[in-house]
Copies of this chain bind each other. A is one copy, B any other.
Amino acid sequence: MKKNVLIIGAGGVAQVVAHKCAQNNDVFGDLHIASRTLAKCQSIVDSVREKKAFKTESLFEAHQIDAMDVTATKALIEKTGAKIVINVGSAFLNMSVMSACIETGAAYIDTAIHEDPDKICETPPWYANYEWKRREEAEKAGVTVILGAGFDPGVVNAYAKLAYDDYFDSISSIDIIDINAGSHGRWFATNFDPEINFREFTGRVWSWQDNKWTENKMFEIGKEWDLPVVGKQKAYMTGHDEVHSISQILKVPNVRFWMGFGDHYINVFTVLNNLGLLSEKPVKTAEGLEVVPLKVVKAVLPDPGSLAPDYTGKTCIGDLVKGVKDGKEREVFIYNVADHKQAYEEVGSQGISYTAGVPAVAAAMLVATGEWDVKKMANIEELPPRPFLDLLGRIGLPTRIREGDNDHAL
């Protein structure tokens, strides 16, 4: 019997996941989507129906849920008969939704590391703070739990594993580079939830260098990269989930993450951060109202979902891997280029949501077909990368490899 899918969340990434599940629903059973706001779920269901996205006719139902409530989430999993849960809600929900999955036996897939709302920028070891503490529990229950199946983390972890398996005898460094060379046409906006976006950058920057954690300030270390399609782009060293898992699982001595930022973004960020407006700690107004500044900043910024229609340009995300093969030094850049406008035309979301959502669906398809239904907890670099990357090539995120002057499809 085909496995029913429950999508948690109703933002831009959930929109992509819903469309892609529908487009590939010959491997799935019924589809369901649930979030705090029923209307947002319903509007995603409507958009999928309008686009006639279903490959084969299917049930697709919207539900209201507070996914912090494990009991309610378990009840919804049971009611919908979901065997695969794709969690693309807030990063605060991961542990609760994972509990509901482990207790009901449904496979769990997410796209970002768990966050505690009271902390900013978890200190390393990231996955070991929450997710990996439950490895034994998942394995004992025989439940498939796939962590970080977005683009970064997610596809970049598969790129690292591909390099590890097929391109190198030993790897000295992996630099993951994430460039959004697109333009949304607004004075300022974040590409996903401002609260999550800014929280990535208000703490310390952690990287894995010479086999140990190294600490820097945000925007302290910048570097210009010359990348395919998007050209020369400045990116800054940033902490990111996959730095932890790749360094630990593949035993690579140097793993760094670089995110592209324009001077305008950095200026706005710097002003807000230096004034204390990105703080997650409440302040009291002169009138005595307690309020978290970051939540007010989120309230005044454009809804990331609203950016999609006007978004133009491309993203380029990939792994620059250096090491040795057959006694010779080698360097390859394994990457994908995605187009904002094309993403919007296909699924109604911009490229950032597209690159995060499509891999989660690919992972769900591989769980549905059994190839990745491993009955335990796994990060992406613990799973065979070829089926995942081949499937992504077919459903919208083809992999390319540049080595010297040679640039070719995987």
Which residues of A are at the interface with B, using a C-beta cutoff of 8 A? 187-188, 195, 267-268, 271-272, 274-277, 279, 283-287, 289, 291-293, 295-301
Whether B289 contacts A275 by the Cβ 8 Å rule is no
Whether A301 contacts B275 by the Cβ 8 Å rule is yes
Q: State the Cβ distance, A286 to closest chain B Cβ, in Å.
A: 6
Residue on B with the closest CB to A291? B291
Which of B187, B195, B267, B285 is close to A296, meaning CB atoms less than 8 Å apart?
Answer: B285
Q: This chain: how many copies in the complex? A: 2
Whether B275 contacts A286 by the Cβ 8 Å rule is no
Whether A295 contacts B286 by the Cβ 8 Å rule is yes
Q: State the Cβ distance, A297 to closest chain B Cβ, in Å.
A: 7
Whether B300 contacts A283 by the Cβ 8 Å rule is yes
Whether B271 contacts A267 by the Cβ 8 Å rule is yes
Q: State the Cβ distance, A268 to closest chain B Cβ, in Å.
A: 5
Whether A295 contacts B287 by the Cβ 8 Å rule is yes
Q: State the Cβ distance, A267 to closest chain B Cβ, in Å.
A: 7
Whether B274 contacts A187 by the Cβ 8 Å rule is yes
- State whether A188 and B275 are in contact (beta carbons under 8 Å apart), knowing that A287-B295, A289-B291 are contacts in the complex: yes
CA distance A166 to B271 in the complex (A): 48
Q: State the Cβ distance, A120 to closest chain B Cβ, in Å.
A: 16
Whether A268 contacts B277 by the Cβ 8 Å rule is no
Q: State the Cβ distance, A184 to closest chain B Cβ, in Å.
A: 14
Residues of chain B contacted by A187 (CB below 8 angstroms): 274-275
Residue on B with the closest CB to A271? B271
Whether B275 contacts A300 by the Cβ 8 Å rule is yes
Residues of chain B contacted by A298 (CB below 8 angstroms): 285-286
Residue on B with the closest CB to A188? B275
Residue on B with the closest CB to A292? B285
Whether A299 contacts B274 by the Cβ 8 Å rule is no
Supplied contacts A285-B291, A285-B296, A293-B300, 6 more A-B pairs, CB within 8 Å? A195-B286, A275-B301, A276-B300, A277-B300, A289-B291, A296-B296
Which of B268, B283, B291 is close to A271, meaning CB atoms less than 8 Å apart?
Answer: B268
Q: State the Cβ distance, A90 to closest chain B Cβ, in Å.
A: 10
Whether B299 contacts A285 by the Cβ 8 Å rule is yes
Kindly list the 7 A-B residue pairs having the minimum CB-CB distance in the complex, ordered from nearest: A276-B300, A271-B271, A285-B295, A283-B299, A296-B296, A285-B299, A187-B274
CA distance A305 to B271 in the complex (A): 22
Which of B188, B267, B285 is close to A267, meaning CB atoms less than 8 Å apart?
Answer: B267
Residue on B with the closest CB to A283? B299
7 pairs, CB–CB < 8 Å, chain A vs chain B: A275-B297, A277-B277, A279-B300, A283-B299, A283-B300, A286-B298, A293-B299
